[in-house]
Amino acid sequence: MKICLSEFTYKSFEELLEKNFKNDEFILIDSEANITSGEGKPDIALVSYELMFKALKSESFFERYLALIDECSFVQGSWAGTESPQAQALISHAKIFSHGGGLHAIPIATYVFAQILRSIKSIDAHIELQREKSWKQMMSVGELTDMTVGITGFGGIGQEVARIAKAFRMKVYATKRTPVISDNLDQLFKPSELDEMLPLCDFVINCLPSSEETYRIFSKSRFELMKTSSMFINVGRGESVDEVSLAEALQEKKISCAAIDTTDPEPLDSSSPLWTLENCFITPHDSAWGPRAPLRAVELFIDNYRRLKEGKKLLNQV
């Protein structure tokens, strides 16, 4: 088979790629989608991180890239979401497309607990005390034992959040459309039972994708169901949160605080009150990034290549 990769990915993982594609030919492309090594049309392709970012920024690059991989037997993406125009275009140009779901679970779950611990240990308040050179001991809650985390969307990210939560001796609730068995889950709720779960949670972690069913699912009424002491963290899609209602809930102390890594639109509008709220922690949709992410994408590509040759269904196949 002819395998299309970026020069950067090939050079970064040459030994691993050569080991797993011994009898195949590589077609390498540069940052302008020009072929620099190999020839002809590829059979399969890996849309690695730098190619995905380039596709978002350059329409001319993406048009050339789509023409190159058109009618590929298999295209592997690096991002979990498939709702963007770029992802939909890739899907339409490939006979089989697999997204990158689960590749980002570990760094995103790490982000979630960075924000949880930031809140539970009063980190921001301690930073302010240091600025003031004030030695004032604080009576923070201090630990997570027996506190409850509620996860909406119990996929790869949600399951990694649950695994870490259990290490902190927390209770774990989650919503999911289909049944799942997990040693890290205390109770599973149907999506229709979300209103029953929210009042029970000290931390609500949104991992939901963008869809008609999830659009603005976190609305004014949902924030009103949460504990006034609760924290809301959004690592799902920004479209699933009514940000006007979130701002009101934070301003009116209907919930304690929030951390949002995704917004709608992105970047977050400069006029949004969320920017200036002391109990809202904003990050620019970068929780998924980590130095191991490109390697995990290559490993998924290799795994799916084997499955393709064996006639098996691919992981994350759309």
In angstroms, the Cα distances linking 130 to 115, 116, 125, 126, 127 are 20, 21, 9, 6, 5
Catalytic residue at 64? no
Percent of residues, the chain, with pLDDT higher than 90: 92
Residue 263's pLDDT is 98
Displacement of CA 242 from its chain's centroid (Å): 19
DSSP assignment, residue 313?
Answer: P
Residue 140's pLDDT is 85
Query: Mind listing the pLDDT tens digit for each residue in 8-30?
Result: 999 999 999 999 999 999 999 99
Distance between CA atoms of 77 and 94, rounded to whole angstroms?
Answer: 11
In angstroms, the Cα distances linking 250 to 109, 217, 259 are 23, 17, 11
Catalytic residue at 237? yes
Query: Mind listing the pLDDT tens digit for each residue in 78-123?
Result: 988 788 899 999 999 999 999 998 899 999 999 999 999 999 999 9
User: Residue 263, SS3?
Assistant: coil
Q: Give start and end residues of each alpha helix (H) in the chain.
A: 7-12, 14-20, 49-57, 59-69, 85-93, 105-120, 123-131, 156-167, 194-197, 220-225, 243-251, 293-309
Percent of residues, the chain, with pLDDT higher than 70: 100
Catalytic residue at 285? yes
Residue 147's pLDDT is 98
Residue 141's pLDDT is 79
Catalytic residue among 126, 216, 285, 307: 285
Residue 80's pLDDT is 84
Catalytic residue among 99, 104, 237, 296: 237
Query: Mind listing the pLDDT tens digit for each residue in 270-300?
Result: 999 999 999 999 999 999 988 898 999 999 9
Q: At 235, list the tokens.
A: 């690592």
Q: Give the confidence band of 230 by pLDDT, cuts at 50, 70, 90.
A: very high
Residues 185-199: what's their mean pLDDT? 98
Q: At 316, list the tokens.
A: 């994350």
Residues of the chain with CATH 3.40.50.720: 105-282
Residues 167-171: what's their mean pLDDT? 98
Residue 79 near residue 46, CB atoms below 8 Å: no
Share the mean pLDDT of the chain.
96
Q: Tell the CATH topology of 105-282.
A: Rossmann fold (3.40.50)
Catalytic residue among 71, 128, 143, 266: 266
Residues 245-259: what's their mean pLDDT? 98
What is the value of pTM for the model shown?
0.90
CATH number for the domain whose boundaries are 2-102+290-309: 3.40.50
Q: What is the CA radius of gyration of the chain?
A: 22
